[in-house]
Structure 1
C-alpha cells in the first residue's frame, strides 16, 4: 500500500516466488525461520512490490502499482510476462493522484482479478484471462474511492474490494456487473487525522471476510450470513498501527501473518488477539506490503517505500507450525 511519505512519484509493485519444502517442526522452533531474500528489484525502475497471487507452479502474479502492470515472476526471479492496464488521461486517485494497480487474486481456472484505482470511470475491478487478452473492466467502483485489497470467494461467486478511502467493502459478482456496498462502518474508515488509509488488506476465511485497517491498527472479522449479507463487525486484534495486507497460516486456523510496512516488520496475530514480531528489517525485509503463505512457505514482498537506501525485494521463509 502506498503511504504518504512515498507519494512523490515512486512506483509500487508486487513480486513473489516459489515454494519451500517443509520439514517437521521441532517443539522449540520459532513460528517463522530461515528467512532469505531471493530476489532484489530495481527501485529506480519502479520495481517496488505491492500485492501478490500465487500460481500452482510456484511462480507469482504480482501488481506493479504505479506502472499499471501485472507481471508473472518465476521461482528463479525471472519475469515471464507482463500485462499493462490502459493509461488514463489526468488520473486523480485520492491521496496519490496517480493511476495504480493494487489488490490481486487468482481463480482456480487461472483468471486474475485486480483493483485499478484512477480517480476516473476506469476505477474498479478488472479481469485478466489466462490467454493473456487485453484486461477488461468488469465492474466500476467510485472514482473518489481507492480500492486497495481484493478477495475472492469462488464458492459464492463474488469478489470483495476494500476501499481504503471510503471505508467500504464492495461486493461484485465474478461475472461482473453492479457493485454492492456490502459493509460500511466507522471501523472500516480511516482516522480523520491519519494517513487517509482505512481498510487495506482483505481475505475470505472461515465463513467471514477479514480486513485490516491501517490507520486504526486493527484486524477485523465480518461474518458472512447465510443470505450472503454482512454480519456484525468484530475487532479481532488492536495495536497493529500501519498494518497492510496479511495471510492466514492455515486454512482452518485463525492465526495471521501481517505486514507492517512503516516499521518493516511481519507480525503474527494469534486468535485471541495477541501479536508479536516474527520478521524484522534485520532479516532483509524493507517496508513489507503483503504476505502470502503456501504450505510451509512464507512469502514477504517489500516495497521499500520509506528506506533511506531503498531495497525492494522478495523474502522467503519457512513456517514451522501454526
Structure 2
C-alpha cells in the first residue's frame, strides 16, 4: 500500500521516471527478470499482495478491484473471489475499499485483509477452496488492515494496521482480533506505519512504510510479543517483503520502483529497479528458486504486472 499513490503529482512522477531511467538491471542474487503477466489498469487490476502455491501459481489481491485472483505459471488470470462493495467507502487515507494482505493455508483456504471504513465489512476475510468469501473477524473501521501472515502450527493469523500502527492476532478459524503488538516503532509518522508482515524464525517481522524500517518482534514462549527490534533502516516507502531462505536475508519491495536485498546486519542494496520492469512494486514472494514481485503501478499509472526472477542461493 503506497503513500505516494495519494501524494504524488505529475511533476513527482516525471522526476521518478527520470531518476530510474538510468538505473541498472537485476543484480545478484537475482538474475533473468521477466514480466510473467501484464494486468489491466483500467479494470483495477493492481496487485497489492502475493502468496505462491506449490505448483508455482501466484495468488494475488487486486487492491481496488476488491478481488482475489490466481495467476497460473503460464500467466492466465482466474478471479477466485470479489469482496462485497460497501454502500459508501470511507477507508482512512485511501477513501475507497482496499484489499490488502493475503495468506494461504495448506488446505487451499485463502485469507485477505479488507479495509472499507465501514464496520460491517472491514476485517479479515476467508475464501475456502471452491467456496464463497466471508468475514471471519472484524477490525476497527477507522483503521487500515494491511499485511497478513498465517501461523499454521498454532492456527493464528497476524495483521498489521497501517493507521493505528499495531499488529493484531486472531484465530484462523474466526473470532475476536486482539492487539498483539504495539509501540512507537510500528506507528505512522505521517501517513502509514506497520505495513508488510511475515512470520520467520520464531518472530513476527514487519515493515514501517513511513519510517523506512524493517522490524523484528520475537514470539515469547507464551506466545506474547517481545520487545520490538529495528533490524534495518533507510528504506523510504518500504512495503512488503519475503525471506530468501532459512536465514534472515530478505527482499523488500519499495514503491520508488526498487527491490532491496536486506542482509542480517541491516545493510541493503538494490537488486531490481524500473529497468527490470518494476512499476511501483508492492510485495515479494519466494518459491524454490523463483522470486515473484507484483507491481501495482500506483505511482507510475502504467503497466501493472507480475515479475519473476531467478534466485541464486
TM over 0.5: yes
Contact 2:46 2:64 in 1 (8 A): no
Aligned length: 294
Determine if contact 2:6/2:94 at 8 Å carries over to the other structure.
Answer: no
Moved over 6 A (4+): none
2:135 is aligned, of 130, 134, 137, to: 137
CA drift of 1:5 comes to: 3.6
Maintained 8 Å contact 1:7/1:96: no
Residue 163 of structure 2 is matched in structure 1 by 165
In structure 2, what is the equivalent of residue 128 of structure 1?
127
- For 2:303 and 2:261, the matched residues in 1 are separated by 23
Match of 1:113 among 111, 114, 127: 111
Q: 1:243 matched to which residue of 2?
A: 238
Aligned residue number for residue 203 of structure 1: 198
**Structure 2 regions of 5+ residues with no counterpart?**
9-26
1:258 aligns with 2:247: no
Q: Post-superposition shift, 1:97?
A: 1.1
Q: 1:39: how far off? A: 1.6
Report SS of the residue matched to 1:190: coil
Q: Which residue of 2 aligns with 1:310?
A: 302
CA distance 1:4–1:95, shift in 2 (3 Å): farther
How far the C-alpha of 1:7 sits from its partner, in A, is 7.8
* 2:72 corresponding residue in structure 1: 74
Distance 1:41 1:136 in 2: 26
Q: Greater helix share, 1 or 2?
A: 2
Deviations along 1:59-111, whole A, 9 cap, x unmatched?
Answer: 11111111111011111111233311112111111011111111000001101
Matched with 1:223 is 218
Q: Any idea what SS the aligned residue of 2:91 has?
A: coil
- Quick one: structure 1 residues 81 and 41, their matched pair in 2 at CA, closer, same or farther if it must change by over 3 Å? closer
Q: What whole-Å deviation, never above 9, does each CA across 1:185-239 have from its counterpart, x for those lacking one?
A: 1110110xx2x11010000000000000000010000000011100000000000
Q: 2:260 aligns with which of 255, 262, 267?
A: 267
1:58-69 matches, cutoff 5 A = 58-69=56-67
For residue 189 of structure 1, what is the aligned residue in structure 2?
187
Q: Within 2, Cα distance between the matches of 1:31 and 1:146?
A: 34
CA offsets, 1:116-164, max 9 Å, x none? 1011111100110012x22111100000000000001111111000000
1:152 alignment counterpart: 150
8 Å contact kept, 2:43–2:65: no
Distance 1:288 1:119 in 2: 25
TM-superposed CA distance for 1:280, in Å, is: 0.6
The TM-score normalised by the length of structure 2 is 0.91
| Matches of 1:278 and 1:156, distance apart in 2 | 35
Q: Secondary structure at the match of 2:47?
A: coil
Structure 1 portions without partners, runs of 5+: 9-28
The offset of 1:306, in angstroms, is: 1.3
Computed over aligned residues only, the root mean square deviation of the Cα atoms, in angstroms, reads 1.4
SS at match of 1:44: helix
